[in-house]
Chains A and B, each alone.
Chain A
Amino acid sequence: MKSQDFVEIAIVAFVAIGAAPFLAAYMARVYSGDKHPLRFLAPVEKFFYRITGIDSGQEMDWKKYALSLLAFSSASIVLLFLILVGQGHLPLDSQKLPGMSWHLALNTAISFVTNTNWQAYSGEASLSYFSQAVGLAVQNFLSAAAGMAVAIAVIRGIAAHKANPEGAAPSLGNFWVDMTRTVLYILLPLSIVIALVLVSQGVVQSLSGYVPSLSLEGKQDLIPLGPAASQVAIKHLGTNGGGFFGPNSAFPLENPTPLSNIVEVIAQILIPFAFPLLFGRMVGKKGQGRVVFAVMLVLLVVLVFSAVASERRWGSMEGKETRFGKSDSALFAVLTTITSCGAVDAMHDSFSPLGGMIPMINIMLGEVIFGGVGSGLYGMLALVLITVFIAGLMVGRSPEYLGKKIEAREIQLAMLAIIAPNFLILAFSAVAVSLPVGLMGLSNRGPHGLSEILYAYASGAGNNGSAFGGLSVNTPFYNLTLGADMLIGRFGVIFPMLGAAGSLAAKKLVAPGAGTFKTDTGTFGVLLLSVVVIVAGLTHFPALTLGPILDHFLMTMGATL
């Protein structure tokens, strides 16, 4: 590895890890309604409630919270769908682009509302500025905020307990208030800062039409423009990942310099890094958050180094930006997949088989190694509950987490949240390799083709949105199956976890003692790590063996397909 790579990894790690405790402390204040530096914006918040008619004092149980989210997301999908289908009749369409096909529009609408940002289109060739700025950029904020709101509700459920046995279960908060505060006090201020830095590095921010130019080869070209910087900022910050332009962050106008690359990388891990610590703060036991953070970090480091190592050992420069090189591309690939961001600065398809498998494994681990904003934490908490249940028995007491007994209902819901994405990946991939419409989209055959399909459905179900590449996905079959994949992958985890939080909130606290299974120790960290790896490993190892692993051995044997 070049020394420059080390420097860059060190900067990213230093900034993200260093910022996490402060951001967590700030976010804890925002969500609990305590005093915080941006409190002067409170009139804006109040004004917003007044014009929308939101009753900010309403307390919601898990069902109300989930229904509010469902209503909000459904309305968002319908609205975005209509914008995308009808963009030809809407303003700011400088290139006179027609509306999207219904299935592509549906896929795209689901994709952006579920914080997946899977793109079966190329931004500059398919979307008007109106669709980008009013449709997609808005959802970049809202889908991120929704994920964070859900995580906060789940944390509240774990932290809360009944004041007395006969009393009503404590509420999980108010969905509308959590959404508003997330956007107003966290996402907007941070993305403004990031957008300004990106503009300073040369990311475009313009409403003018595309610029015609003569390329070096003497061909007539169109240089696409648009309100990119503002959207790219939240694309990373909100772990959305949907590129403004087709090549995403591999494109100079979206990611022009090494500094912009570092800023984008940091932006996408900033909030996910803060979330476990925020969790520790909100349950009143910082150590609990630190263990979860440490487990995520250890897995991250292992994955980064294995991806970088396998790229340096077996990778080529095909599909990579010469400006970034092999190590940098691998780092970006790991970070983008672990955070469920899905922005790419290289084509994962062109990685060596094992190098390409690492991003895929990241997603298959359930997007819980930091993961998407909010979603990473509630996904990880499902695994925490399972770990507590399996290992907790071994101290000779019924399993309990943070003073709450983990019983049949919590196990059922946590397992549902874990099974849902895994089921989607394998079931849809199985359908795709069995049907001609599925195989039609493959640009490579053999094990690599299987990797392409597995990656696509993993990316959708994990709400990651990055593409392996090589698979033509703008077909009714892929648009619809991936649409369902993303939708169930998102809500199939959210609803069970909200349900589990509701059930935990209604439990009375068990007093801690020397016989309690401790969940803030290194032993627990090792256990959690093993459960994360074993659950994902046992589920996907057979499929991965036929995909990237077989691909790898064929490559090392020198076989030609």
Chain B
Amino acid sequence: MKKKALPGYGISRKTLLSAALAAFAKLDPRVEFKNPVMFTVWAGSLLCTIAAAAEWIGGLPPSSFAVQVIAWLWFTLLFANFAEGIAEAQGKARADSLRSMRNAITAHLFNGGEKTKDVKSSELRSGDLVVCETGDLIPGDGEVVEGVASVDESAITGESAPVIREAGGDRSGVTGGTRVISDRIVIRITADPGEGFVDKMILMVENATRQKTPGEIALTILLASLTMIFLIAVVSLYPFSRYIANESKSMNALSLLKLVTLLVCLIPTTIGGLLSAIGISGVSRLMRKNVMALSGRAIEAAGDIDVLLLDKTGTITYGNRMATELIAAKGVSEPELAEAALAASLADDTPEGRSIVALVRDRLPARPAAAAGGAFVPFSASTRMSGVDFLAAGGESDPKRAIRKGALSAVREFVEGRGGTVPPEAVGACERIARSGGTPLAVSVGNRVLGVIHLKDVVKQGIKERFAGLRAMGIRTVMITGDNRLTAAAIAAESGVSDFIAEAKPESKLEAIRQEQAGGHLVGMIGDGTNDAPALAQADVGVAMASGTQTAREAGNMIDFDNDPAKVIDVVEVGKQLLITRGSLTTFSIANDVAKYFAILPAVFSGFYAAGGRSPLAALNIMRLATPESAILSAVVFNAIIIIALIPLALRGVKFNPAAGASRILRKNLLIYGLGGIVAPFVGIKLLDMLLGALGLA
């Protein structure tokens, strides 16, 4: 199905502009203070700027080198802020478009009678009843309490086919900003202004209001501790260098500017600057899949899920039984059976009927003559058959041409009532089909049974590969179904699901989750009905469908606007990708330091004991950087631009293939971000050194 592009997907010029403005606004110390690594850069840059300014006022203009270094220190900070800003802007663009859509809606307050009162949607309170009729925009998130309507949710999901929302069932949830395209419903509003889904979403993508997730807090502690170590190492270097300077009588102790530069290059600015962008982009990436996480914690937890509880219907199978085979009785040609099956189904609008039509047209491209003029006999609970009757010349229905399809027992009764019998091979075929977990449908014309249609729960395409991938990632999939064991086992085998629970009752899900959790597993599930609410709340990651009941939506910690049961698999992948990205960039950031030491230390120490222009520590300058100034400048420039260079990666996430398995993914990332993290700055700094030399900047 084709989807419309929704706002907030790409990086527009507007996004870039607002990110650039945010980069400056975020220089506010109160904002920087939240990030210990970047606050250290901020304090260091400020200190150097003030010191240089004070010297200038004292009559000593700063060198071109000092100006460049100080500028790059500030750039480091701005680049990190820009990364965060771009992630925010991207997320907000999506949220803003959703918000603007619903702000100006007029709501028709309903007081139980015929009269309604018009108010602005922003004045609606939780518990208010509103009426929506054909063409109206739904003014807020809520639940249908009266009526049935078809609703166009394309503004949120991008899906153009309208959906049915009705009171009382498991499809009673509506989202603000969607449009009623037929009928009339009464909706109870379930969120106060500022607390709806979209508002929550905006809070999640704005760093100022976003709550740090447990993983981010732990990582921030690690980064702050590393910053502390480097702070000690660099601060103590001043007295050490002063002592050596005194001893060697050849130069002064290290200057403030050099110490700050060394510090900024060493502390993990790469991951420190990108950490919140990674977190925000996780929220955005989920949103792109039309899933809204109600907390960042839930996205992180999604990566840890190792058991997925999946409903059979809709997740593993298409949810409707489909015709897959035509088995003709003895003496009946397949086209004959096909023609009868087609005739019985042409006007049958049920999914089964449609699937029969599709199958026949697929099998017999030379399309049998459509049986014109027949009167459709719809399925009823008492006859348990559907079919078509043809009028004889006298206007009476012609019993010889009556076509029926239905359960074998119903068809047998029908044909035996007209003096016919059911051939034994048709009975055999029916038994065989039932044993394999399918549903047999007998087809008769008059009093003759022509054959059997095999209806099958069809497993979704590609689901087997996805389960294999999940298994490689260490995730066990458990299918849950109300079917009997036989049917369940057949579907389980075909779909490659790890495990199944058959003949499940509504409470089985909760039980299963509790049992898995007691065994030390983290469980994810998706659900929609009120029945699902306790299980959604118990699960470590509970994805509620937006169409679901209010109870279900409140119980889950994510909401899927596509109402796609398979979405929980995407959610797990986004969670894992988020964690991998975070780990990879942390590794990269720390690995970078090795090269920076070899660039900066020989440069800043070059004067000690230098005799005849030869520095004893020159041997450490393994990159052969041109001059001490150029070495320091190259390191600080590299340190700053690597942040910009990695923004796309932070926003997109590290590529990963779930099917590769945990240890291969680890080894690959170690190679790219660990080893690569050591090598890249050696190359980068050397190139920058050559470039700066060529430009005459250092």
**What is A's interface to B at a CB cutoff of 8 Å?**
386, 389-398, 403, 406-408, 411-412, 415-416, 418-419, 422-423, 426-427, 429-431, 433-434, 439, 445-447, 449-450, 508-511, 513-518, 521, 523, 527, 530, 534-535, 537-543, 545-546, 549-550, 553-554, 557, 559, 561
Contacts and interface: CB of A to CB of B under 8 A. Distances in A.
Contact of B240 (A429, A539, A559): A429
B217 A408 contact: yes
Given A411-B221, A554-B609, 16 more contacts: A393-B586, A394-B669, A396-B303, A407-B218, A411-B219, A411-B222, A412-B221, A419-B229, A423-B232, A510-B304, A510-B522, A514-B471, A538-B593, A543-B236, A543-B237, A559-B609
B218 A408 contact: yes
Interface string B594-608: 100100010001001
Among A416, A429, A431, A545: residue with most chain B CB under 10 A: A545
Given A398-B579, A509-B520, A539-B233, A546 B244 contact: yes
B662 A395 contact: yes
A545 B620 contact: yes
B23 interface: no
Contacts of A515: 306, 473-475, 662
Contact of B244 (A447, A508, A559): A447
27 contacts: A389-B218, A393-B215, A393-B579, A394-B584, A395-B663, A396-B662, A398-B300, A408-B218, A418-B225, A447-B244, A447-B247, A511-B306, A511-B519, A514-B661, A514-B662, A517-B662, A517-B666, A523-B670, A534-B594, A538-B233, A538-B594, A546-B244, A549-B617, A550-B605, A553-B619, A557-B616, A559-B611
Given A542-B601, A557-B616, A415 B244 contact: no
Contacts of A446: 244, 247-248
Contact of B580 (A386, A394, A407): A394
Contact of A396 (B225, B240, B576, B597): B576
Nearest to A530: B674
Contact of A539 (B229, B238, B241, B306): B229
Contact of A545 (B475, B521, B584, B617): B617
B240 A433 contact: yes
B251 interface: no
A449 B591 CA distance: 31
Contacts of B239: 430-431, 433-434
Nearest to B222: A411
A183 B577 CA distance: 51
Nearest to A165: B518
Nearest to B619: A553
A434 B605 contact: no
B521 to A, nearest CB: 5
Query: What range describes how many residues of B lie at the interface?
Result: 35 or more
Contacts of A431: 239
Given A398-B303, A508-B520, A545-B617, A516 B670 contact: no
Given A396-B577, A545-B605, A407 B214 contact: yes
Contacts of B609: 550, 554, 559
Main DSSP-derived SS at the A contact region: helix
B605 A426 contact: no
A394 B236 contact: no
B243 A434 contact: yes
B667 interface: yes
B335 interface: no
Given A408-B218, A430-B236, A521 B674 contact: no
B656 interface: yes
Nearest to B218: A408
Contact of A398 (B215, B238, B608): B215
A439 B242 CA distance: 13
Given A398-B303, A422-B232, A450-B244, A408 B237 contact: no
Contacts of B225: 411-412, 415-416, 418-419
Given A408-B218, A523-B670, A559-B611, A541 B474 contact: no
A449 B247 contact: yes
Given A411-B218, A510-B520, A541 B601 contact: yes
A157 B532 CA distance: 38
A210 to B, nearest CB: 41
Contacts of A422: 229, 232
B34 to A, nearest CB: 15
Chain A to chain B: the 7 pairs with minimum beta-carbon distance, closest first = A515-B474, A393-B583, A396-B576, A514-B474, A415-B225, A511-B520, A513-B474
A538 B582 CA distance: 21
B257 interface: no
Contacts of B266: 538
B616 A394 contact: no
B476 interface: yes
Contacts of B673: 394
B427 interface: no
A398 B301 CA distance: 8
Nearest to A424: B232
B590 interface: yes
A386 B616 contact: no
A130 B242 CA distance: 46
B144 to A, nearest CB: 39
Contacts of A514: 471-474, 661-662
Interface string B300-321: 1001101000000000000000
A391 B591 CA distance: 12
A508 B243 CA distance: 52
A152 B411 CA distance: 77
A21 B71 CA distance: 59
B587 interface: yes
A559 B667 CA distance: 47
B322 to A, nearest CB: 34
A538 B608 contact: no
B230 interface: yes
A393 B667 CA distance: 12
B665 interface: yes
A430 B255 CA distance: 16
B579 A397 contact: yes
Contacts of A561: 247
B234 interface: yes
B240 A554 contact: no
A397 B579 CA distance: 6
Contacts of B665: 394-396
Interface string B651-677: 000001000011101110110011000
Nearest to A416: B225
B626 interface: no
B303 A546 contact: no
Contact of B236 (A406, A427, A509): A427
Given A415-B222, A446-B248, A397 B576 contact: yes
A283 B665 CA distance: 27
Contacts of A553: 616-617, 619
Contacts of B666: 391, 394-395, 517, 523
Contacts of B243: 433-434, 439, 449-450
A408 B229 CA distance: 18
Given A394-B669, A445-B247, A549-B620, A419 B594 contact: no
A170 B118 CA distance: 62
B580 A426 contact: no
Nearest to B576: A396
A545 B604 CA distance: 11
B545 to A, nearest CB: 25
A172 to B, nearest CB: 22
Nearest to B215: A398
Contacts of B521: 510-511
B228 interface: yes
A550 B618 CA distance: 10
B520 A397 contact: no
Contacts of A538: 229-230, 233, 266, 590, 593-594, 597
Nearest to B573: A396
B477 to A, nearest CB: 12
A206 B273 CA distance: 66
